[in-house]
Every structure is written in structure tokens, then in C-alpha cells.
Amino acid sequence: MDDEVILLDFWPSMFGMRVRIALAEKEIKYEYREEDLRNKSELLLKMNPVHQKIPVLIHNGKPVCESTIAVEYIDEVWKDKAPLLPSDPYEKSQAKFWADYIDQHKINMLGYQLWSTKLGEDEHEAISKKLVECLKVLEGALGNKPYFGGESFGFVDIALITYNSWFYSYETFGGFNLKEECPKLITWAKRCMEKESVSKSITDPNKIYEFVKSARKLRGIE
């Protein structure tokens, strides 16, 4: 029996994009289903009753929720192609540490605060600073390696590169320039974008910017 793979997703989601990249890396055919997050489908509520969030990977009828868990699941199930996590236990622990760092620091929430609300000058500056600091720590972890795990594209790259779609909006509304603040990270992002699995899976930054601008209009801040 062929595997049935369905992805419940929402096009601007940096979390959904992670799963899209992992599936593309492994060359897995799947059905993409766009969710309306203001009117969630019965299937989404059934498959992710706890968080009711996308992305949800549904493999032969069984749901896998949480993007990094789904990426790891994909790596384990489709083992023969393009390993995403290292097999060495220590290396694997490090990859998970950095993916967790990305999620714990809630880059998306910091960015969201920058574009979705009218902040006082001090608060705005503090949030922008926090976001840039977090990216600088990640740049330090990358060091001079081509990818976070070394020579090949993998788990941490997938966890972070999806923010590349959002960086332009974060910079615009956060008032910083990532090329100046984190030049190595920008070079790394360009390198990742050269991979077809990434470029075809992640959303154009201009499209995200238009999305952000219309969300700001709806909130009456533009």
C-alpha cells in the first residue's frame, strides 16, 4: 500500500514550511490542505484536538502534531533519503538543543509584537533588541560552517530557514538590518535558499510583507 500523507497547513506559517521542506527533502508526495484558521476544519480539530493548530502531518490516517516533532518523524520513517538528524547521539542532542532554542525564544512572537501592535518607543526598541540578540546567538552557533550541522543541510537549518520569509517584515517593522547585524546568517540563508527543497517550500518574503500589511490595516495600525 502506498503511504497516504496529508499536510494541514496555512501558507504564511513558518512552522508549516518546516514540514513542507522535510517532505521535499525526502521527495515524499503528499496532499497539501490549506486551513482557514478563523474557521478551522473538522479534520484539524479532530487531528489536533489539544492545540488546534497547524501544521499537522497525517500519515496513513494518524496525526503528528508540532512542526519539529513532525520533521523528526519524517526523518525516522523515510530513513533512506537525505538524513536530517545526525545518527550520533551527541550530535543529535545538539541539533535538538538549537531547534529548541529557536522555539523557546519565540522568534515568531517577538516578530509578531513588532508588526502587529503599536508599541511605545522603549518597548519597540527592547523587542527589536531581543530578536536581534537571539539571531546573533544562532549566528554564533553556526560559526563558519556552511550549515548548522556541518557540511550538510539538516534539522536546525529547517527549523530556522523558514523565518527567512519573515525577516524582511521583521526588519521593516523592527527597524534593523540583518545584513549588518548578522551577515553570516544572511549568507547561510542564501545558501539554504539555493536548495530546491527550500525555495519551493517557503513563501516569498514579499507575499509575507503584503500579508503583514493587510493584517496591520485590519488592526487599524496602518
Q: Which residues bind ligand GS8 (CB under 6 A)?
A: 10, 13, 15, 37, 52-55, 66-67
Residue nearest to ligand GS8 (CB): 53
Closer residue to ligand GS8 in complex, CB, 55/174: 55
Question: Which of residues 48 and 128 has its CB atom nearest to ligand GS8 in the complex?
Answer: 48
Provide, rounded to whole angstroms, the least separation between the CB of residue 67 and ligand GS8.
4
Contact 95, 156 (CB under 8 A): yes
Closer by beta carbon to ligand GS8, 66 or else 72: 66
How far CA 129 is from CA of 10, 83, 199, in Å, comes to 29, 35, 28
Residue owning grid cell 478563523: 38
Tell the smallest beta-carbon distance from residue 182 to ligand GS8 (Å): 23
| Cis amide prior to 55 (ω within 30 degrees) | yes
For 33, the enclosing helix (H) or strand (E) is: strand 31-34
Quote the least distance from Cβ 200 to ligand GS8, whole Å: 20
**Least distance to ligand GS8, CB of residue 144, Å:** 29
Given the complex with ligand GS8, which of 15 and 167 has the nearer CB atom? 15
CB of 143 to ligand GS8, least distance (A): 26
Smallest separation, CB 95 to ligand GS8 (Å): 16
List beta partners, residue 208. Answer: none
Compare residues 134 and 146 and give the one whose CB is closer to ligand GS8. 134
Distance in angstroms (rounded) separating the CA atoms of residues 46 and 49: 6
Task: Break the chain down into helix, strand, coil percent, rounded to 5.
Answer: 60, 10, 35
Burial class (CB in 10 A: 0-12, 13-18, 19+), 40: middle
Phi-psi region of 42 (alpha: psi -120 to 50; beta: other; left: phi over 0): alpha
Here the cell at position 118 is 503599536
